[in-house]
Structure 1
Amino acid sequence: MSRQKLNIGLFGFGVVGQGLYDVLEKSPALDSRVSKICVKRRINRSLPDDMFCYDPDEILEDESINTIVEVIDNAEDACFIVKKALQKGKNVVSANKKMLAEHLSEMVALAKEKNVSLLYEASACGSIPVIRNLEEYYDNDLLLSVTGILNGSSNYILSKIFDNHESYSVALKEAQELGFAESNPSFDVDGFDSLYKLIILTLHSFGVIVSPGEVLNYGISNITEFDINYAREKGYKIKLVAQVERLRDKKIALFVLPRFVTRDKYIYSVEDEFNGVVIKGVAYDKQFMFGKGAGGHPTGSAVLSDITALGHHYRYEYKKASYFGGFKYFKEAAIELYLRYSNPQVLRNFEFKSVSEEYHGPKYHYKIGFIRLDKLIAIKDKLRDLDIFLAATGKALNY
């Protein structure tokens, strides 16, 4: 099959957009060019004014443009652009994990209906080609789990806490000053970014689309020195970990939680703004992928990879959704958690199936035991407002 020429309409001209434009201009072998760039407002740029437009329809209605690349932050705007582009029969490359996670069913169906390609490698783990590998290399029925550090901002903060003995507040401020975390860091530190990425990876791991609101995500914003010292005394690091795991009877469970990680685990040594993904299977045991998960250049490299793949008519086949008889999302599995609290009244919110360890101190107390995921999902919006900290122990799910 011959390579197709891509006439690109680019949405967004920040760090990623500008970097992508430069690479495409310097790589004529890609047989792709940016014809028009849509931005929200006029600012000083090195390119001529006629390269830019301010109305999305100027690109979306242009029949000569066959490919849309969007690298904008706003999920609602991205949804409008991607949906209309697909409806117009244009190929799309997107990096917006929130938009994709919340509209996967609709966007995948629309791409199939219009017989076009929707690629989004950059939405999951930056420079790590995890989606393509799950699609092409791990496209069999032997996959057991995908576990990883999917958010560079929270991992940077935790690295400074455990490696440099910084407090959470100091590490967060440093991450914000370096541009790794926003002024409102909740999207990263409360596990939403990791959640949206996990939703996308779950589709390519097991062929199941799960609503983000139906999955437990809890982050690191409530961590205290007590929790940090507990982990250190046990020889652990705390990492914010996302996981999708295959259970028996074609069931899967998924969640995003801080986790106590021992030195023998691959993700123990994933530091700073890096991401790490462990793929576990029946025949190949564990395989580890590591790289920068965010930033202009890593994200841009993933976008460029998708554009190159489009030139060769590549598209996701979603084979696991079609061939394996259908996995089901199972929320009733129990996970072993460390629960640190101050006021014993807070325990009314938690229904432990069993308790293996308890501690009562002058200020803080903790319990370690199994709690069903569905019970936690039911109160997940409340968890961040409680004076508690939750962390998975890493023990196998009970179901």
Structure 2
Amino acid sequence: MSNPKLTIGLFGFGVVGEGIYKVLQDTKSLNATVKKICIKHIDKVRNAPAELFTTEADELLADEEINVIVELIDDAEAAYHIVTKALKQKKSVVSANKKLLANHLEELVALRDEHGVSLLYEAAVCGSVPIIRNLEEYYDNDLLSSVSGIINGSTNYILTKMKEEQLSYELALQQAQELGFAESDPTLDVEGIDAVNKLTIILKHAYGINEIPEDILYNGITHINERDIQFANEKGYQIKLVAQSVQVDQGKVAAFVLPTFVAKDSQLYNVRNEFNGVLIGSKLADEQFLYGKGAGRYPTSSAVLSDIAALRYEYRYEYKKSELGIANVLTNEIFLKVYVSFESWDTIDKEEFAEIEQVFKSNTRNYIVGIINLDVLHNAEWFYDKSISVIAIGEEVLYNPELVWDQSASVLEKL
């Protein structure tokens, strides 16, 4: 087995970058050292020799001795320039930037192939949960039926505290920020953007689908209110932000990110705080469950170190679904069972529902439980109204291949 000397140029020296630096110092078996670290502010005191640091990216990217770039910065645009230049300079790249990867993965993979290097990013998806490597190695065939789960630890922490300790959304978010699970600007997490970015990457490995996040329906947790939590308690549900991808027909995959009422019989029900949980469905192996910490310093560091270690034997993602010519595409030709809560009936078009199962009216907050087509939901103006909660019920989707709804059939029996 090959064990080449890895000489690393590190971009970013926050909690993860510093952790990587320290572990590499203490783990000689990795045969990896950090030669140079690029940061924004040179005058800040850091726990490493001053001569390691620079503000000039080209000091790393043009250094012929550096053969690995580890990119751990928040700025996706700056990361794009760093990673593309590194690949063109024939340097392997380890990245944790899910926004960069979700929007440019196809281009980056093409550069990787052109220059014969590796591009690894396990840390970009589920922290310490090795979902990408599992999809690449274990589920590299056409028997995968679904990949769904809680893939954002920050929102899961917030929802856990709102449910178990009756904290307000604002206080739960503040706690998540203080513990390092959420950024000072939490928009990417709480609006569902981080989760849909990760789902986009999963789609590539699970189904060979090249997509961009803007084409996938998603929503976050900012609209969830006390009435929604009360409904969850009455029905014995947990509210989780769940990313779902389901093979609904040959060559067709449905994908979306929505707050979801999760029942007690689901593995996701007991995924608490900053933990992630991913369910992988297979036509032969039924369902597998991967569980681990998805937010924080150490889970991310663990995944980055795993990728660095894999470079010792020149590991590369093979994107086997794409290479085998398995042609899957996204489809919205499915129906979802959803709970929708709102203040005014004027804001909801009831005619857009295929069937309404339950209606609740009050002087303050109303709700509907019904069945709606995913494409209709995606195009409904009220779906994007922040005063309205849209929460999926359960982790299953109802598929109608001809998009002809048989009103004589019982929706509840189908669900």
TM-score, structure 2 normalization: 0.93
Which runs of structure 2 are paired with 1:361-376 in the superposition (5 Å)?
361-376=362-377
Aligned to 2:163, the other structure's residue is in SS state helix
Q: How many angstroms does 1:377 deviate by?
A: 2.8
Per the TM alignment, residue 160 of structure 1 is displaced from its structure 2 partner at its CA by 1.1
Aligned match of 1:47: 48
Deviations along 1:324-344, one digit per CA (max 9) or x if unpaired, are 531111123222211111111
Which residue of 1 is the match for residue 108 of structure 2?
107
* Number of the residue aligned with 1:26: 26
Matched, 1:8 2:8: yes
Matches within 5 A, 1:20-169: 20-42=20-42, 43-169=44-170
Note if contact 1:56-1:81 (Cα within 8 Å) is conserved in structure 2. yes
Post-superposition offset of 1:379: 5.2
Residue-by-residue CA offset, 1:74-130 (whole Å, 9 max, x unaligned): 111111101111111110000000110011111111111111100000000001111
CA distance, structure 2, for counterparts of residue 183 and residue 5 of structure 1: 37
Contact 1:8–1:69, Cα closer than 8 Å, also in 2 = yes
**Partners in 2 of 1:2 and 1:105 — Cα distance?**
28
Deviation at 1:58, TM superposition (A): 1.2
Q: Hey, what does 2:172 align to over in structure 1?
A: 171
Structure 2 SS opposite 1:40: coil
Match of 1:250 in 2: 251
What's the offset of the Cα at 1:185? 2.1
Q: How does 1:348-359 map to 2 (within 5 A)?
A: 348=349, 351-359=352-360
Return the offset for 1:229. 0.5
Shift of 1:41: 1.0
CA distance in 1, matches of 2:350, 2:179: 38
- Secondary structure in 1 aligned to 2:398? coil
Letter in 2 for 1:10: L
Range that drifts further, 75-84 or 316-325: 316-325
SS at match of 2:367: strand
Q: CA deviation at 1:384?
A: 4.5
Give the deviation of 1:349 after TM superposition: 8.9
Report the AA paired with residue 3 of structure 2: R
Query: Which amino acid in structure 1 is aligned with residue 279 of structure 2?
Result: V
Q: Give 3-state SS (helix, strand or coil) of 1:200's partner.
A: helix
Q: For residue 333 of structure 1, what is the aligned residue in structure 2?
A: 334
Letter in 1 for 2:184: S
Q: Is the 8 A contact 1:141 1:324 kept in 2?
A: no
Letter of the 1:322 counterpart: E
Range that drifts further, 77-86 or 348-357 = 348-357
SS at the partner of 1:113?
Answer: helix
Contact 1:10 1:37 in 2 (8 A): yes
Work out the CA distance in 2 between the residues paired with 1:68 and 1:379. 43
2:278 equivalent to 1:272? no
**How far has the Cα of 1:371 moved from its partner?**
2.0
Could you state the TM-score of these two structures normalised by the residue count of structure 1?
0.96
Using the aligned pairs only, state the percent identity: 50
> Partner letter of residue 6 of structure 1?
L
Task: Give the root-mean-square deviation of aligned CA atoms.
Answer: 1.6
Q: Which residue of 1 aligns with 2:293?
A: 292
Matched residue of 2:399: which SS?
coil
Query: Counterpart of 1:207?
Result: 208
Offset at residue 183 of structure 1 (A):
3.4
User: Does the aligned pair in 1 maintain the 2:251–2:328 contact within 8 Å?
Assistant: yes
Task: Select between 203-212 and 159-168 the one with higher mean Cα deviation.
Answer: 159-168
Instruction: Give the partner amino acid of 1:132.
Output: R
Whether 1:311 and 2:312 are equivalent positions in the alignment is yes
Is the CA contact (8 Å cut-off) linking 2:217 and 2:257 kept in structure 1?
A: yes
**What is the deviation of 1:368?**
1.6
Q: Which runs of 4+ in 1 moved over 4 A?
A: none
- Unpaired runs of 5+ in structure 2? 401-415
Amino acid at match of 1:38: C
Residues 232-276 of structure 1: per-residue CA shift (max 9 Å, x gap): 101111111001111112100110001111111001000011111
Per the alignment, residue 393 of structure 1 pairs with: 393
Residues 183 and 48 (structure 1), Cα distance of their counterparts in 2 relative to 1, 3 Å cut: closer
Letter in 2 for 1:273: E
State the match for 1:239 in structure 2: 240
- Structure 1 contact 148–276 (Cα < 8 Å) conserved: yes
Secondary structure at the counterpart of residue 227 of structure 2:
helix
Task: Give the conservation status (yes or no) of the 8 Å contact 1:87–1:114.
Answer: yes
Matched-pair contact (CA < 8 Å) for 1:97–1:196 = yes
* Maintained 8 Å contact 1:358/1:367: yes
8 Å CA contact 2:208–2:326 kept in 1: the answer is no
Could you say what secondary structure the match of 1:79 adopts? helix
Q: Is the 8 A contact 1:127 1:298 kept in 2?
A: yes
SS of the aligned residue for 1:311 comes to helix
> Number of matched residues?
398
The answer on whether the counterparts of 1:231 and 1:260 sit within 8 Å (CA) in structure 2 is yes
